[in-house]
């Protein structure tokens, strides 16, 4: 970024090594430093609004779906203390839950949709990986096999999981006379159709078989005034129950009980996850708005959309395990910022469209569009500096065409592919930026989760829309509820 304004850094690097490199957001036909300076007053107001949220737990003009004032507590997630969403008692309960599963349970089926599923899947994919369920008990350190359902009304998926549970129950016999399955329905309202449909199916199917010993742990709003049917059921049957706290929307809930139950189930270090989020929170409390990574992320994306027409953000993580992170971000961005009206009640139709992608896979699918298509996209790369795995290719063939692969480290090739993609986009003045995590672990994942959540909160302030409601979702829910109640009539 050449120019007279030297107070804006070219990239931001945290003490942990977390890096936000937005160099390629600037240039010919792209952002100029003057764009940021013109937005400075709005950025300062946004910063002040988030600081007020931290202090009071409220967001300007934010109401619940029934029109009553509702708190916003997600900025309190990183700090473990009494009165916050995460307390010493709640973390000990999670640890005890993980220990219990490790010692007593063979398989866990998490049942949830939206914010009760997407973050959990990220935690599993990064903390456990695709081969987890095929590993032996020793390689899983005694932790159970993990399955996800209730994220769709898909009968085939339910049956496939049930068949796999039957397979493992037979495989475990006669060492284990009964295969223990833990069902974990996750729903704040306790009435989410996808979640309850799958829960009912698995509860009935497991209950009918002499091969299974079934337990239930419910994750729902435990406030009796909320009237969660799932909580009432848990009370009736004496099931273990985790709480979905007031003031934490589903898309912001991954760092609370609804998400952390999955972390506990695979032995992920929950304290490290929250510690990473805390490091990001500290970095974003700087008084220099141009050194606040989440505020800068929000401002750059907001300007790119409002001034340069880049209303699409491609979230492109390099590495197979990062695919579910893109799906989680889709909900976070779309539900938080896709709003018909601003907080003054004016019709604005604000929003940016998130598109998930995986490198290098989607370089062979989407990159043609990114490079040559309409100039309405920001390609946001995510790089893990030290990727797991250490594959070095040999030379099993004599043909000269294969010689270039000899000695190649696969992770080096992945990094070269990302660099090449960014360089190609930059050569045509295409908007792109890069997040870099030193490693793929709980600490840096906590940093990234919190960074992205705080970014959309800041962007909501810049655009003057409520980042914490979802009135558009309620529209289809009302129609579907009527169809469901009236079916067969």
Q: Tell me which DSSP letter residue 290 carries.
A: G
Q: Which residues contact 172 (CB under 8 A, 6 or more apart)?
A: 106, 179
Neighbouring residues of 185: CB distance < 8 A, sequence distance ≥ 6: 111, 112, 150, 195, 196, 198, 199, 216, 218, 219, 220, 230
Q: Quick check: 409 and 388 in contact, CB under 8 A?
A: no
Place of tokens 């209303």: 311
Contact of 366 with 314, CB cutoff 8 Å: yes
Residues pairing with 220 in the sheet: 243
Helix segments in 220-344, DSSP class H: 229-237, 257-265, 270-283, 293-306, 323-337
Beta strands in 339-452 (DSSP E): 339-341, 347-350, 353-359, 377-386, 432-439
Which one of 65, 95, 403, 477 is the catalytic residue? 477
The two structure tokens encoding residue 216: 């239930």
Known catalytic residue at 171:
no
| C-alpha to C-alpha distance for 115 and 154, rounded to whole angstroms | 18
Residues 6+ apart with CB under 8 A from 445: 122, 123, 126, 273, 276, 437
Q: Is 364 a catalytic residue?
A: yes
Contact 146, 134 (CB under 8 A): no
Q: Which has the closest alpha carbon to 379: 351, 350, 358?
A: 358
Residue tagged active-site, from 364, 404, 478, 483: 364
Q: At what angle do helices 88-104 and 270-283 cross, to 10 degrees?
A: 150
Q: Other C-beta atoms within 10 Å of 242: how many?
A: 22
Tell me the residue length of the chain: 489
Active-site position among 70, 335, 447, 461: 335
Structure tokens, 306? 């409002």
Residues forming the active site = 335, 364, 477
């Amino acid at each position: 970024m050449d120019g007279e304004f030297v107070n804006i850094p070219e990239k931001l690097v945290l003490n942990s090594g977390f890096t936000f490199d937005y160099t390629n957001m600037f240039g010919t036909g792209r952002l100029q430093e003057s764009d940021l300076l013109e937005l400075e007053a709005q950025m300062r107001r946004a910063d002040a609004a988030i600081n007020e949220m931290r202090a009071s737990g409220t967001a300007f003009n934010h109401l619940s779906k029934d029109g009553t004032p509702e708190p916003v507590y997600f900025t309190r997630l990183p700090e473990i203390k009494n009165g916050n969403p995460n307390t010493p008692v709640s973390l000990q309960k999670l640890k005890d839950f993980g220990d219990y599963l490790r010692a007593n349970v063979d398989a866990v089926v998490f049942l949830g949709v939206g914010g009760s599923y997407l973050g959990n899947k990220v935690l599993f994919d990064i903390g456990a990986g695709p081969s987890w369920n095929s590993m032996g008990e020793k390689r899983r350190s005694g932790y159970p096999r993990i399955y996800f359902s209730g994220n769709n009304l898909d009968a085939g998926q339910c049956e496939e999981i049930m068949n796999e549970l039957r397979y493992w129950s037979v495989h475990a016999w006669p060492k284990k006379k009964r295969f223990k399955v833990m069902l974990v329905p996750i729903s704040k309202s306790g009435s989410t159709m996808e979640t309850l449909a799958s829960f009912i199916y698995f509860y009935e199917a497991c209950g009918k078989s002499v091969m299974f010993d079934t337990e239930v742990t419910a994750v729902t709003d435990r406030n009796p005034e909320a009237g969660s049917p799932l909580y009432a059921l848990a009370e009736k049957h004496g099931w273990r129950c985790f709480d979905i706290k007031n003031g934490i929307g589903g898309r912001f809930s991954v760092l609370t009980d609804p998400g952390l139950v999955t972390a506990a189930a695979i032995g992920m270090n929950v304290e490290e996850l929250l510690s990473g989020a805390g490091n990001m929170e500290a970095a974003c409390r700087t008084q220099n708005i141009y050194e606040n990574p989440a505020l800068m992320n929000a401002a750059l994306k907001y300007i790119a959309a409002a001034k340069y027409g880049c209303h699409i953000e491609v979230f492109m993580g390099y590495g197979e395990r990062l695919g579910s992170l893109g799906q989680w971000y889709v909900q976070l961005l779309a539900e938080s910022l896709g709003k018909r009206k601003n907080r003054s009640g004016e019709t604005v139709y604000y929003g940016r469209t998130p598109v998930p992608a995986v490198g290098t896979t989607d370089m062979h699918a989407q990159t043609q569009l990114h490079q040559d298509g309409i100039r309405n996209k920001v390609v946001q790369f995510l790089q893990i500096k030290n990727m797991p795995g250490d594959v070095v290719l040999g030379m099993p063939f004599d043909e000269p065409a294969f010689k270039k692969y000899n000695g190649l480290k696969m992770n080096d090739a992945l990094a070269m592919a990302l660099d090449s993609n960014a360089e190609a986009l930059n050569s045509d003045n295409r908007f792109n930026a890069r997040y870099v995590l030193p490693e793929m672990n709980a600490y840096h994942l906590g940093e990234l989760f919190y960074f992205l959540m705080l970014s959309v909160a800041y962007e909501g302030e810049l655009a003057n829309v409520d980042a914490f409601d979802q009135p558009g979702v309620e529209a289809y829910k009302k129609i579907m509820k009527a169809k469901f109640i009236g079916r067969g009539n």
